[in-house]
Amino acid sequence: MSKTICRLFIAGLICAVTVARGATLPTKFLGANSCASTSCHGGGGAKQNQFLVWSLQDFHSQRPPATLTSARSKQIAEALEIKDPTADSRCTSCHAPLAAVPENLRGENFKISEGVSCESCHGPAENWLRAHTRPDYTRADRTAAGLRDLQNLYVRANTCVACHQNVDAKILQAGHPELIFELDGQSVAEPKHWSAEKNGNGAQAWLVGQAVALREMSWQMASEKSPTEDQRLRLDGLRWLLEKIKAMKGGATDLNSGSPSQSTSAEIFNRIKSESDRLAIDMAATQWTEAMTRQFLNTLAGASPDFRADAIPQPLQARRAERLVLALDRLVTALPELKNNQPAQSALNQLFQLAQSRPDFDPAKFAAALEIFSRALVENK
Ligand code: HEC
Ligand code: HEC
Ligand code: HEC
């Protein structure tokens, strides 16, 4: 699959076409109404209600384009000298992605106002709409026709991350909220229009998502002419976390890239990019077990010495902690035996509080709380 193309077209719109047929003819977008008849995905039963769940409950259907008309968007737009955020590709690429579809690829029912629509995630429907209901139509047939294989966690992570991690430094400076991609938690937060067993293992989704997030950040850094210090710290925070995972898998810790804790050159960013992509692909293809979740949790819970290391600057420690608490949260949630482990749960809450404000972040306090968390895992089995 052509990841480069996916990343260039930030909303991931065009990549389905490339994936489908090795960059030949583009495919038409038919619009959500093409999926909405009651005998297809607009019915009341649990297996046919996808259109209703999306249009009535999912924030992707109404909110993203509506946000571009808010007062906050107006402020952001003014700071960037954007006249109309609802018509500027710097905003619509994520908030109204269908705006990027060329005129000749718009079907009859096509509406930009659909926001992040069925085809934004599943791929443009022209080549599979009719055929995809046939009983003899296999998963391979569908994928070949451009129906994205979102059951594959790597493909799913690539789809979501396109809109959920990187924003241009200029847009952030203009007041846009910072984005932080975390596939597991964000999948749980999305009102489901699919059956639970297609969710994949939560911890596995978390790890694939984090590896893909690091790839996107390093890609952005490698192509940024003057990356900000803050962007670099964010990347190094996540890099630290995934290095720990890679180290315990016994592989070479290539994410470490020869520099102690801070990434600097385009060459390093490019190396981290391909390493993290490989990690994502490997992890998506792994037969996941609960034992792996436990191992990862124990390793990360044992990270307190890193927060006691005086040589690491406080802003980097704060970024490490930010990713670490999200990781612990997803790993704890994935393990049934920890549901009723009150000491571990309250230690985790404490860690979240300590990681909340970056300027106030106190690495030594965090290290102490992490030790309490780590003991609770062992003592309250
Ligand atoms: C084409 C861009 C796009 C894609 C693809 C996309 N999203 Fe979103 N998503 C958005 C935008 C834009 C918002 C913000 C809506 C608003 O508040 O205006 C959003 C909001 C959300 C939210 C609520 C806000 C938050 O961050 O907690 C969740 C959760 C979410 N998306 C999860 C997902 C998941 C899971 C996927 C992949 C299956 C996905 N998204 C794919 C654009 C996208
Ligand atoms: C890379 C994708 C992307 C781009 C480009 C983007 N946004 Fe967003 N935007 C998001 C996502 C995702 C969220 C939801 C963040 C969350 O809830 O965590 C969001 C949230 C927002 C919010 C806050 C919504 C709220 O909660 O009140 C505003 C306002 C906003 N965007 C405006 C804009 C404007 C204006 C532009 C263009 C200058 C723009 N965005 C470009 C993805 C994007
Ligand atoms: C934000 C991304 C996103 C959007 C928007 C979206 N989907 Fe999905 N959809 C997914 C994911 C992720 C899955 C789960 C993986 C899979 O089954 O392919 C899924 C699964 C499905 C399934 C399989 C359900 C099952 O349990 O077998 C159907 C059917 C479906 N979507 C239809 C739709 C339709 C119709 C729309 C628009 C009305 C839509 N989707 C919009 C991401 C999305």
Predicted local distance difference test score (pLDDT) of residue 13: 40
Predicted local distance difference test score (pLDDT) of residue 19: 40
* 321-344 pLDDT, tens digit each: 999 999 999 999 999 999 889 999
Residue nearest to atom 13 of ligand 1 (CA): 64
Burial class (CB in 10 A: 0-12, 13-18, 19+), 175: middle
Mean per-residue pLDDT over the chain, rounded: 88
Residue among 29, 58, 59, 91 to mutate when testing ligand 1 (max atoms within 8 A of CB) = 59
Ligand 1 lined by 94 (C-beta under 6 Å): yes
Q: What percent of the chain has pLDDT over 90?
A: 67
**Does position 228 have pLDDT exceeding 90, yes or no?**
no
Q: How far apart are CA 99 and CA 119, in angstroms?
A: 13
**Does position 295 have pLDDT exceeding 90, yes or no?**
yes
List the single range of 38-52, 80-94, 171-185, 297-311 with lowest mean pLDDT.
Answer: 38-52
pLDDT band at residue 267, thresholds of 50, 70 and 90?
A: confident
Distance of CA 31 to the CA centre of its chain: 24
**Does position 216 have pLDDT exceeding 50, yes or no?**
yes
Half-sphere exposure of 330 (CA within 13 A, CB side): 26
Q: Any idea which ligand is nearest the CA of 67?
A: 1
Which residue is associated with the tokens 């926001």?
Answer: 115
* Distance (Å) from CA 116 to ligand 2 centroid: 13
List the single range of 41-50, 150-159, 340-349, 354-363 with lowest mean pLDDT.
Answer: 41-50
Q: How far apart are CA 346 and CA 348, in angstroms?
A: 5
Residue nearest to atom 38 of ligand 1 (CA): 160
**Does position 1 have pLDDT exceeding 60, yes or no?**
no
Which residue is associated with the tokens 């952030």?
Answer: 172
Distances in whole angstroms, Cα of residue 49 to Cα of each of 39, 113, 135, 139, 148: 10, 21, 20, 21, 20
**Nearest ligand 1 atom, CA 68:** 18
**Nearest ligand 3 atom, CA 190:** 1
Q: Any idea which ligand is nearest the CA of 89?
A: 2
Predicted local distance difference test score (pLDDT) of residue 11: 38
